Structure 1
Amino acid sequence: MPTRTESPSLLLADPEATETLGRQLAAASGADGLVIYLYGDLGAGKTSLARAWLSALGAGDRIKSPTYSLIEPYTLDDGRPAWHLDLYRIADPGELEWLGLDALADPRAVILIEWPQRGAGALPAADLSLHLEHADTARRLRMEPSSARGERLIESLTF
């Protein structure tokens, strides 16, 4: 279980805590669309958090990593679209044109984007940025809202 260190920052003791947080974020996100930016070094837990979040929203049990495909689409239990992007392999935001990112403009969509800095200027604006970093054997997560939806999500979390 994550423990609050200083708001809005959390210490995630192990991979299970990261997955628990992903499920809690999903439960707190409600039925609104949401754009989440996931920052962090390799191995910081971005994909684990995204998988748990999408699975909790009903995207299925098999959430593939978009490391090579760059984007994976899903349909959630409530019929909303969801996308998981991993832009690690992108060298220039112009490379994103062929991905059909215009579909990400759906206001009902849940969009989780790893390495968003590599798509700067070509992505929808974030509602919430999650910054994961290594902290010895644990992970530290800092939450940075950038919209009213992001602020509501953080306020509705309970630990």
Structure 2
Amino acid sequence: MKIKIDSLDNIHAAAKEFLQNMGDGKVFAFYGKMGAGKTTFVKAICEELGVEDVITSPTFALVNEYTAGNGDSIYHFDFYRIKKIEEVYDMGYEDYFYSGNLCFLEWPELIEDLLPEDCTKVTITVEEDGSRSVEF
């Protein structure tokens, strides 16, 4: 599936389309270069799920927990600053990944070996015209 985001004006429409087509998966690994819009897109998805918390990149905390409108937990990870895989073990990643709750992971390439087999890989690409393509 490929979704095009022409501008921030239609990011919520793109997030709705993503949610309608994401299937039964729970763990989504977002790939893309720095500045591609991973955090911005995850934020829009969370907002569409009814999250009222302030949604920010968990760069320093590694994981942020949000509450969806239906009361379910959503976990948002950012592994950019991981220096050793032991940090991920120490945080108890399995408790999150296998919780049955949605998990959105940024910079998953740094923990590739720990990703669940049923993880959905999502790639965000910056196009020449500045738009973004989301493929999964």
C-alpha deviation, 1:100, in angstroms: 2.1
Find the aligned partners of 1:11 and 1:116 in 2 and give their Cα distance: 22
Bigger mean CA offset, 18-27 vs 111-120: 18-27
- Aligned equivalent of 1:83: 75
CA displacement, residues 44-100 of structure 1 (integer Å, 9 cap, x when unaligned): 111111001112112215112111211001222222221000111113322212222
- Aligned equivalent of 2:123: 131
- Aligned equivalent of 2:5: 12
Aligned residue pair count: 134
Bigger mean CA offset, 50-59 vs 37-46: 50-59
TM score, norm. by length of structure 1: 0.73
Identity level (%)? 27
Find the aligned partners of 1:134 and 1:47 in 2 and give their Cα distance: 14
- Matches of residues 20-31 of structure 1 in structure 2 within 5 Å? 20-27=13-20
**SS of 2:41's equivalent?**
helix
C-alpha deviation, 1:13, in angstroms: 1.3
In the alignment, structure 2 segments of 5+ residues that lack a partner are none
Find the aligned partners of 1:19 and 1:38 in 2 and give their Cα distance: 17
Q: Is 2:132 the partner of 1:142?
A: no
Change (3 A) 1:28 1:61: farther
C-alpha deviation, 1:133, in angstroms: 1.2
| Alignment match of 1:37 (pick from 6, 29, 50) | 29
Bigger mean CA offset, 39-48 vs 119-128: 119-128
| Alignment match of 1:71 (pick from 57, 63, 75) | 63
**SS of 1:94's equivalent?**
helix
| Alignment match of 1:122 (pick from 93, 98, 114) | 114
C-alpha RMSD over aligned residues:
2.1
TM score, norm. by length of structure 2: 0.84
Q: Which amino acid aligns with 1:80?
A: D
Contact 2:38 2:124 in 1 (8 A): yes
Q: Which amino acid aligns with 1:140?
A: S
Find the aligned partners of 1:67 and 1:19 in 2 and give their Cα distance: 23
Using CA pairs under 8 Å that are at least 6 residues apart, name the structure with larger relative contact order, 1 or 2: 2
